[in-house]
């Protein structure tokens, strides 16, 4: 939970507008930090040959619980996407089947399978970097875009979902351009 940050003006009174702006900035910085970690995982997974360029980080109380990447090749498992892998590992680590006190940061917009897992694990917040089109552009399945695009399923999920903007979105989308030479898409 994030507290409200009050900002004192020169005459000592509190400015609500300034406080709100400062609060938004704190949220942005925090989101950027964890999203950058997820993007780093995406590169890491490609570098070690574990799978596609996707990373996910699960955070509880401002601390990273697990930081994972796509393990499809390593585990010979088409379901070992970064988000599913992170949920499995976080649940095991915390010894609980619900992650209602956690947030997930995904380097890319989650596919329907991952969004289903995010919903079932009751994660309270999702922040993602790249839009699905960035992955689809280098050959990944266009079904990725089906999870968050106005499906009844998405609308029913009681969760804050945030698409990163600015530099967060840029670094997340660069993952695909920078790694595409390493993938033979079919
Ligand atoms: Zn997925």
Q: How much is the average pLDDT of 144-167?
A: 78
On the CB side of 152, CA atoms within 13 Å amount to 0
- pLDDT of residue 1 exceeding 80, the answer is no
Q: Whole-model pTM?
A: 0.82
On the 0-12 / 13-18 / 19+ scale of CB atoms within 10 A, 179 is middle
Q: Tell me: the pLDDT tens digits for 86-139?
A: 999 999 999 999 999 999 999 999 999 999 999 999 999 999 999 999 999 999
Q: What's the gap in Å between 65 CA and the centre of ligand 1?
A: 19
Classify domain 30-140+164-179 by CATH architecture. Answer: 3-Layer(aba) Sandwich (3.40)
Q: What's the gap in Å between 27 CA and the centre of ligand 1?
A: 25
- pLDDT of residue 170 exceeding 60, the answer is yes
Q: Is residue 168 within 8 Å of 129, Cβ to Cβ?
A: yes
Specify the pLDDT at position 155. 65
Q: Is residue 27 within 8 Å of 4, Cβ to Cβ?
A: no
Specify the pLDDT at position 50. 97
Could you say which of 8, 25, 83, 103 is catalytic? 83
Going by pLDDT thresholds of 50, 70 and 90, the confidence category of residue 161 is: confident
Q: What's the gap in Å between 137 CA and the centre of ligand 1?
A: 16
Specify the pLDDT at position 47. 95
Q: What's the gap in Å between 109 CA and the centre of ligand 1?
A: 8
83 labelled catalytic:
yes
Please give the sequence-ordered ranges of beta strands (E in DSSP) within the chain, or none if there are none. 55-60, 63-69, 102-108, 125-130, 160-163
Going by pLDDT thresholds of 50, 70 and 90, the confidence category of residue 21 is: confident
Q: Tell me: the pLDDT tens digits for 22-75?
A: 888 888 899 999 999 999 999 999 999 999 999 999 999 999 999 999 999 999
* Domain ranges (residues) in the chain: 30-140+164-179
Q: What's the gap in Å between 3 CA and the centre of ligand 1?
A: 32
């Amino acid at each position: 939970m994030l507290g409200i940050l009050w900002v004192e003006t020169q005459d000592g009174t509190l400015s609500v507008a300034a406080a709100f702006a400062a609060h938004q900035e704190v949220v942005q910085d925090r989101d950027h930090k964890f999203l950058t970690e997820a993007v780093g995982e995406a590169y890491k997974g490609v570098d070690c040959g574990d799978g596609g360029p996707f990373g996910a980080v699960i955070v509880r109380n401002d601390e990273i619980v697990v930081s994972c990447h796509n393990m499809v090749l390593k585990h010979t498992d088409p379901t070992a996407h970064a988000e599913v892998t992170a949920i499995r590992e976080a649940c095991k680590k915390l010894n609980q089947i619900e992650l209602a006190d956690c947030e997930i940061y995904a380097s890319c917009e989650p596919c329907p399978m991952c969004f289903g897992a995010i919903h079932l694990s009751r994660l309270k917040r999702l922040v993602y970097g790249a839009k699905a089109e960035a992955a689809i552009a280098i050959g990944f399945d266009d079904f990725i875009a089906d999870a968050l695009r106005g499906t009844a399923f998405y609308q029913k999920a009681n969760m804050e979902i945030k698409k990163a903007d600015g530099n967060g979105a840029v670094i997340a989308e660069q993952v695909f351009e920078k790694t595409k030479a390493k993938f033979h898409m079919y």
